[in-house]
Amino acid sequence: MVDTSAKNPLLNQNKNFLELCFACRIGDVENADRLISTGVNVNGVDEFDNSPLFLASLCGHEDVVNLLLRRGSVCDRDRYEGARCIYGALTDSIRNILLKYDISKAVDVKQPFASHLSSLMNDDIVNNFDFQFTFDDDLQIPAHKFILAARSSYFRQKFSGPWATLKSKRMPTGSDIEAFRSILKFIYLVPVLHELKQDQLKHIHLLSMKSGFPDLLSYLDKTMHVSDPSERASLMNEYQYKFNTDARDQLEAYVNENIFNNGILLTSGEVKDRHLKTLRDLPPFGDLVLKVTTSEGQDYFYMCHKSILVRSNFFKLMFSSSFQEATSEVPIVSLSVVNLSVAEVVLSYLYYDSTDIPWEIAIDVLRTSDFILTDRLKTMAAVTITQSKEFLTKYSIFDVLDVAWSCSVERLEHHAAKVIAYDIENYINDSLLSDAIIQSSKRIKSRQDTDTVELVDDIRFYLLEKYDLQADILELLDTEDDIDFLKKSGLLEYKKDIDLLESLLIELGFDI
Amino acid sequence: MSHFLTMPSVKPIISNRRYSRKTEGLDEQWAILQNGIDKIFDGKVTELSFEKLYTTVYGLVLTKNGPQLHERLSRQLSDHFGKVRTSFDGITRAEALNLLNQVWEKQKVYLSQISDVFIYMDSVYSKRENKPDVMSLGSRLFLKEVVEHVSGTLKSSLVDEINQARESAAQYSGFDILKNAIAVLNSLELKEGMSSVFLMEFEPFLLDSTEAYYKNLHSQLIAEQDETRWKDFNTLLELLNTENKICCNIFEDQDTILKLHNIAERVLVTDNIQEIAIYNVAKIVNSDKNDVLSRLLAISSSQKDKNVIFDQLSQFIVKEITSIEIDTSAKKKSVAAVAWIQELIKLKDKYQELGSHLNSAQAAGFKCINEAFGKAFSQIKIFPEFLSLYFDNYLKSEPSAMDSNIRKCVQFFKLFKDKDAFEIIYRQQLSRRLLQQRSNVLREQELIFLLQEDVGTSYTSKLRGMLRDLHSSNTFMQKNGKLSKTRDISVNVLTNMFWPLQGSDMNRDVIVPDSFAAIRNEYENRYAKTHSGRLLEWNYHLSTVEIAYQFRNSYHELSMPMFSGIIFMLFKEHESLTFDEIVELTNLPQQEVRKNLISMSVAPKTKILQKSPPGKSISNTDMFSINQGFTAPQRKVKVLMVLMNTRPNATNDSTRSSVEKKLLDSRLSVINAAVTRIMKQDRKLYHSELQDKVALSIPLFEMSPSLFKMSLEYLLNNEYIQRDFDNTTMYHYLP
């Protein structure tokens, strides 16, 4: 084998990236979303120089194409890679989406956590700024201490040291408020590069030196020598992407160090309000106590941030309403989980889009995200369950079915049906299958002319898939008597499986 | 085959219900929620823990208690709204409407808080089971428990307030209350996908009450002292505008506004449109304000109503035109014609002004005015003659440029339907003008050009042919040089089919002087050389001669009709002649000789012949000789043909009837041609279809049904077409 990595710097043979390529081929938009959130580079290429966008475009998966573009895939038709995506597009509608994509306008494509962070600049949900920078004429710019601390070691030191007791910092007279605002936008991951003004550059340069943003500095240096608009746009894109990746790492580090490590374990008794007040001004500068109760009955207390937790609908409703929690300054909110790692997965997701869910706790993560009304995490957990090869070593497929039904996750229902279908000989004697079929029959929403049991229908569907058969070939079963043909085509085996299923149904008292 | 690891030995952990640790029953759980809901309704939401309530709902839904939860919530809300209802007791009018809005605004906030708590039920249970979510459940129960119970009060309050607004118009101050109340009613619906309660219940009621209101208003107006106010369009416009303004202030929905407006319009305008049209049309035509027609048309949005107004206007115009007086006392017809046409122009100007302020949507008004003129013209028999006479008068006056009145008259011509009748008269007058050289050829051409703008060149082909004849005759004369050394001769060759000539025997029988005969033969020879195969026929009765004669006291150049000239020339060889002798020598009919002799011997200004015995009438034995003593102030003397006063009307009538006969014949042949052409194309047609198609294809006159029937009879008899055997109203083309 030739070492291709020398040829193409974008070549990526990371396992997650290759899985992403596969998801793009088969159009599994949810898995693609999960994989992108693990931090793979969406603009990488595989050993055949295929980018995920090209694969999705070629295979005609419009929703994956849209997802990739939203997450920062570049389609520059002036370059070989971009043109290839457009010419390779399977459908006109995909081609039009790609043609409409304009690299210079695509600066705000990014990960959900970054979008959320940006939206906090004008935090209108909980409005929980805890620091202010005051400029000349008493102009003020509000900010979140924890975001500044997470993104910049400079601010981290200041908040722990000289500014520890300050609520507001007066900036030196003559400071350029606009330049400062640009820096703040950079910190909050608002795409700012394209709106930097020439006359601010000096101030921004200075401020980024001070606050310690080497990437911003390197961008400023590079962009000075680029005049071609398309190249410039590429550069911006590349850097904005890098900023987001860095921010994710910084948040991850911050959450680990300050939230998880500072969690307080109390096996009994209540937290004293006084105790919490002191926590308020220490890193992580939280404004909310998350009381995590494990199934072992232990309570852990984490200082968290309302501004971040509102990414979950549960917290959003809680803090935007007029209930007690919204009116108290540092509310204590409980979350019941199986063990601490579930809570950590949920928080990691909320803070920096981590979708790295260990399969062992995937079901618990799914239930918890259902409770806090966070659909995307729920989907991610479901994808983890379906992708994991070890999952069934610890859990029964009927656990999956149970959680699928109680939390309405269609993907898992199908997955369960598929697993059962592919191994029907084993499952058919399991009394749990009978229970599941009876339960499924009770879930019929509204009576129709011919009621069907969804689970049975799904199993039938996957039995066809199992033997690579089409529905219309089944009539051959009645007419064809060439045994060899039936054997070869898999029809015979299919018939065997179906007979198993049907005899079970008859046993259960269903009409077929 | 399967790539899944199969581990059916793993025991499921479903039974381990970690999320429903609370083992209390439904009732205890519900008690928590009930208490929460009560507190929310008490406005004490800040005392409640969202987490606790949410977790309770979550637990209940997860343990499949969704139906009971939904049920109990629904009952709880019903109970609450039942209490809310009591706040409406004894409250009416604006207060009730205001209260509705206030109460609902408050309940909406409560409902939204409850909805937050029940979000897990909404998004999991209600969605799956197709149940209403908390917000819509709440608004439905509010509708059922509050609004429906007080809807009587609300309806009557609404109507009372709106009626008060109608009466006090600008002074009314409660618009916001009404608007808000309507908005509340519009936001409530009984079932998903159903129309709002406002549309279902309140709007029909409002429509009825509006109709009653305007009916009442209408009868009040009629009972007023000023008998005309109820039908005056200014009053009506004002009322309708007020209604519109009020509606726009109250309702958001354009549909409702339109419905209410239409009711007002129907009661006030449409139901009485006939009388309103009669009254107002008479009023506006003489108004000095110029937007009156536009305003009158604005009182109704229905085309039917507008058509009634147009109809009235049209009738009025026709009446005005037909009542323009014709001056029968004028000596000359042309004077009467000019006076009449000038009146007509004034009338047209007036209506032009009236129509000029219509907006683009009312353009039909303009068309109506024009059509009314056309209709009136068709009713006035003398119109084509008068119009033609007006043109005649204008051209004879040798104008230097086209004046605006002529352009207006051309407009009249365009509006006039029976264009072929006009053409016949115009052609006669044109031929007279041309032969007598009474007009400027350029102006003639100009006018003909204007006339053909609308009807096309074929219509004026004969007129243009006449002008062309004169032109080519002139050119021929110039090319061939003089016919005689001593005499000036000018000959016009007139193509028979262009000119309205009636050949006469006298032209063939008359004995012309030899000197003239020679010239005539010379011309005929020359003409035959260049135009072979043409037959020239001399129309002496259209010709004039000029004879120079030395009277005793003065020398004169006498210009006279050809026949007079022939008679005068007789005296070159005879001293005196009797009437009979003249008849014999000229071979002219007695009538013609007498006509000429009267103008030469009786007319006072041109008495170039002496008659004995003198007298006004001429008998067969009278003697004539040259009046040597004749003298006149100018050297040039024109002997005019004296019109015989005997039976002048009779001749007029006979010419007119002959014109009409001719017209009828030509129309018949035009219709015949049209019918044949259309039948040939379509093969078979019903009577009415055929009639419509034929009428459309004839631009020059309006086809009367009788004429059409005549044409069909002719064509049936001559087997151009055939009636269908089964269906008598259908015709077939016979090839």
pLDDT at position A442 is 77
> So what's the pLDDT on residue B73?
92
Final residue before a domain boundary, out of A249, A280, A302: A249
The verdict on A266 and A328 lying in the same domain is yes
* Helices within B86-202 (DSSP H only): 93-117, 119-120, 127-129, 134-142, 148-168, 175-187, 197
Is A344 within 8 Å of A290 (Cβ atoms)? no
Q: Residue B113: list chain A partners with CB under 8 A.
A: 321-323
pLDDT at A5 over 60: no
Place of tokens 């003697």: B623
The alpha carbon of residue A381 is apart from the nearest alpha carbon of chain B, in Å, by 18
Residue A403 lies in a domain: no
Q: Which residue of A has its CA nearest to B14?
A: A399
Q: How far apart are CA B490 and CA B513, in angstroms?
A: 17
H-type helices in A372-409, by residue range? 375-387, 391-394, 397-406
**Which residues in chain B have their CB less than 8 angstroms from residue A325's CB?**
49-51
Peptide bond into A229 cis (omega under 30): no
Choose among A323, A327, A398: nearest Cβ to B12. Answer: A398
Poorest-confidence range of A160-174, A235-249, A480-494, B387-401? A480-494
State yes or no: pLDDT of B656 exceeds 70: no
**CB-nearest partner of B50 from A321, A406, A423:** A321
Average confidence (pLDDT) over B389-395: 85
Residues A481 and A503 in one domain: yes
Contact B50 A446 (CB under 8 A): no
Question: pTM here?
Answer: 0.68
> Is residue A78 one of the residues assigned to a domain?
yes
Assess whether A350 and A435 both reside in one domain. Answer: no
C-alpha separations of A498 from A486, B30, B214, B424 in Å = 15, 46, 76, 99
Q: In the predicted model, what is the mean pLDDT of chain A? A: 81
In DSSP terms, B555 is beta-bridged to B550
Interface of B with A (CB under 8 A): 1-2, 4-8, 10-14, 18-19, 21, 45-51, 53-54, 58, 62, 113, 116, 119-120, 123-124, 128-130
Asked whether the beta carbons of residue B6 and residue A322 sit closer than 8 angstroms, the reply is no
CB contact under 8 A, A392 and B1: no
Which value, to the nearest 10 degrees, does the dihedral of the CA atoms of residues A154, A155, A158, A164 take? Answer: -160
Q: Where are the alpha helices (DSSP H) in B598-704?
A: 648-682, 687-697
- Same domain flag for A232 and A269: no
Q: How far apart, in whole angstroms, are the C-alpha atoms of residue B600 and residue B106? A: 114
Which chain B residues touch A392 with a CB distance below 8 Å?
Answer: 4-7, 10
- Tell me which chain A residue has its CA closest to the CA of residue B8: A396
How far is A193 from chain B, CA to nearest CA, in Å?
A: 39
Contact A373 B123 (CB under 8 A): yes
Q: Is residue A404 part of a domain?
A: no
Whether A130 is in a domain gets the answer yes
What tens digit of pLDDT does each residue of B494-552 get?
887 788 776 667 777 788 888 788 888 888 888 888 887 787 888 887 788 888 888 88
Residue A245 and residue A266 in one domain: no
Q: Which of A324, A367, A422 sits opposite B47 (nearest CB)?
A: A324
Q: What is the pLDDT of residues B214-271, one digit of tens each?
A: 899 888 888 888 778 888 888 888 888 888 888 888 888 888 888 988 888 888 888 8
Percentages helix, strand, coil for chain A (3-state, rounded to 5) are 60, 5, 30
Minimum distance, in Å, between the CA of residue A324 and any CA atom of chain B: 4
Q: Two tokens at A337?
A: 């989980």
A125 interfaces chain B, CB cutoff of 8 Å: no
- pLDDT computed for residue B269 by the predictor: 86
Cβ–Cβ gap A334/B51 under 8 Å: yes
Compute the distance between CA of residue A247 and CA of residue B167 in angstroms, rounded to an integer: 68
- Exposed, middle or buried, A283 (CB in 10 Å: 0-12/13-18/19+)? buried
Whether residue B305 contacts residue B273, with contact meaning beta carbons closer than 8 Å, is answered with yes
Cβ contacts of A397 on chain B, cutoff 8 Å: 8
Q: How confident is the model at residue B651 (pLDDT cuts 50, 70, 90)?
A: very low
- Report in angstroms the alpha-carbon separations of B635 from A39, B156, B544, B548: 123, 101, 17, 10
A168 and A231: one domain? yes
Please name the residues between 74 and 113 in chain A that touch chain B, using a CB distance below 8 Å.
Answer: none
B422 to B185, B413, B448, B459, B466: CA distances (angstroms): 69, 8, 13, 11, 16
Q: Are A472 and A391 in the same domain?
A: no
Distance from CA of B123 to the nearest CA of A (A): 9
Same domain, A297 and A222: no
Residue A417 lies in a domain: yes
Asked if A373 has any chain B CB less than 8 Å from its own CB, the reply is yes
Distance from CA of A446 to the nearest CA of B (A): 8
B10/A396 CB distance under 8 A: yes
A3 three-class SS: coil
Report the residue of A290, A312, A322, A469 to disrupt the B interface, i.e. the one with the largest count of B CBs within 10 Å: A322
Rounded to the nearest 5°, which phi and psi values hold at A263? -60, 140
Give the single-character DSSP code of A78: T
Final residue before a domain boundary, out of A221, A249, A277 = A249
Complete domains list, chain B, with CATH = 1-5+21-150 (1.20.1310.10), 161-268 (1.20.1310), 290-463 (no CATH), 464-540 (no CATH), 543-638 (3.30.230.130), 650-733 (1.10.10.10)
Phi, psi of B309 (to 5 degrees): -65, -45
pLDDT given at position A450: 58
Closest CB to B14 among A338, A399, A426: A399
Q: Answer whether A394 sits within 8 Å of B10, measured CB to CB.
A: yes
- Whether residues B116 and A295 touch (CB distance < 8 A) is answered with no
Measure the CA–CA gap between B236 and B309, rounded to whole angstroms.
Answer: 15
Reported as a pLDDT band with limits 50, 70 and 90, residue A109 is: low
> Can you tell me the mean pLDDT for A266-285?
62
* Residues spanned by the domain of A149: 118-249
Please give the Cα distance from A112 to A101 (Å, whole number): 19
Give pLDDT, residue B275.
Answer: 85
A129 and A67 within one domain: no
User: How many C-alpha atoms does B73 have within 13 Å on its Cβ side?
Assistant: 30
| C-beta atoms of A324 and B62 within 8 A | no
Taking phi first (over 0 means left), then psi (-120 to 50 degrees means alpha), and beta for anything else, what does residue B559 get? beta
Q: A288 by DSSP, 3-state: which?
A: strand
The pairing of strands A131-134 and B544-550 is: unpaired
B81 within 8 A of B42, measured Cβ to Cβ? no
Q: To the nearest 10°, the Cα dihedral for B120, B122, B128, B132? A: 170
A106, part of any domain = no
Q: And the tokens for A488?
A: 């070869």
The string of pLDDT tens digits covering residues A429-465 is 888 888 888 888 877 655 455 567 888 888 888 888 8
The domain tally of chain A equals 4
Residues of A in contact with B116 (CB under 8 A): 317, 321, 323
Helix axes B333-355, B363-379, angle to 10 degrees: 160
In chain B, residues with a C-beta closer than 8 Å to the C-beta of A446 are 130
- CA B704 to chain centroid: 21
Whether the per-residue pLDDT at B22 is higher than 70: the answer is: no
Angle between helices B93-117 and B66-85 (to 10 degrees): 160
The answer to whether residue A69 sits within a structural domain is yes
pLDDT in tens, A390-416: 888 888 888 888 888 888 888 898 999
Report DSSP state, residue A132: E
Show residues of chain A in contact with B19, CB under 8 Å: 336, 367, 371
- Phi/psi at A480 (nearest 5 deg)? -80, 130
Q: Given strand B609-612, what is the order of strands in its sheet?
A: B576-578, B623-626, B609-612
**A115 to chain B, minimum CA–CA distance in Å?**
25
Average pLDDT for A477-501: 79
Quote the minimal CA–CA distance from B39 to chain A in Å.
11
Question: Does B705 sit behind a cis peptide bond, omega within 30 degrees of 0 on the bond before it?
Answer: no
Q: How do residues B104-131 score in pLDDT, each as one tens digit?
A: 999 999 999 999 999 999 888 888 888 8
Give the DSSP H or E segment for B66.
helix B66-85
What pLDDT shows up at residue A275? 62
Judged by DSSP in three states, B523 sits in helix
| Cross-chain Cβ contact A430/B8 below 8 Å | yes
Q: Which pLDDT value is given to residue B703?
A: 81
Q: Look at the alpha carbons of B675, B678, B682, B688 in this order and tell me if their dihedral is positive or negative.
A: negative
Contact A419 B1 (CB under 8 A): no
Through-space distance between the first and last CA atoms of chain B, rounded to whole angstroms: 84
Sort out which chain A residues have CB atoms less than 8 A from B128's CB and list them.
408, 445
Choose from A290-304, A352-366, B408-422, B475-489 the range with maximum mean pLDDT: A352-366
| Residues on chain A touching B45 (C-beta within 8 angstroms) | 321-323
- Alpha-helical regions (H) of B224-302: 233-250, 254-268, 273-284, 292-298
Mean pLDDT of chain B: 82
Chain position carrying tokens 């009765």: B541
Pair A142, A240 in one domain: yes
Tokens representing residue B294 in the block? 């536009």
* Residue type at B111 in one-letter notation: L
Q: Which of A223, A249, A275 is the last residue of a domain?
A: A249
Q: For the residues B89-104, what does the mean pLDDT come to? A: 85
Q: Do A324 and B46 touch (CB under 8 A)?
A: yes
Residue to mutate among B3, B6, B32, B115, with most A CBs inside 10 A, is B6
A427: nearest CA partner in chain B: B8
Contact between residue B580 and residue B620 where contact means Cβ atoms under 8 Å apart:
yes
Is there a domain that residue A512 lies in?
A: no
CATH number of the domain bearing residue A56? 1.25.40.20
pLDDT of A3 strictly over 50: no
Nearest CA in chain B to A368: B19
Give the nearest partner residue to B8 out of A373, A402, A426, using CB atoms. A426
pLDDT-based confidence at residue B642 (cuts at 50, 70, 90): low
Task: Dig out the tokens for A166 from the structure.
Answer: 């300050």
Distance of CA B390 to the CA centre of its chain: 27
CB contact under 8 A, A392 and B6: yes
Determine the straight-line distance between the first and last CA of chain A, rounded to whole angstroms.
56
Distances B178 to A408, B169, B200, B211, B618 between C-alpha atoms, Å: 45, 14, 18, 19, 100
Q: How far is B208 from chain A (nearest CA, A)?
A: 42
| Local structure of B181: helix, strand or coil | helix
Shared domain check, A204 and A138: yes
Is the separation of the CB atoms in A144 and A129 below 8 Å? yes
Residue B454 has pLDDT above 60, yes or no: yes
- Give me the mean pLDDT over the B685-712 stretch: 85
> What is the mean pLDDT of the segment spanning B623-631?
86
Q: What is the CATH number of the domain that holds A151?
A: 3.30.710.10
Closest Cα of chain B to A310: distance in Å? 14
The CA distance from B516 to B523, in Å, is 11
How many A/B residue pairs have CB atoms within 8 Å? Answer: 101
Give the position of tokens 């983890």. Answer: A384
Phi and psi torsions of B633, nearest 5°? -65, -40
**pLDDT surpasses 60 at B652:** no
pLDDT of residue A451: 61
The DSSP bridge pattern shows strands A332-336 and A288-293 to be parallel
Q: What integer pLDDT is reported at residue B75 of this predicted model?
A: 92
pLDDT in the model for residue B16? 42
Q: A123 and A236, same structural domain?
A: yes
The whole-number pLDDT of residue B8 equals: 43
User: What is the CA angle B664-B665-B671, rounded to 5?
Assistant: 85
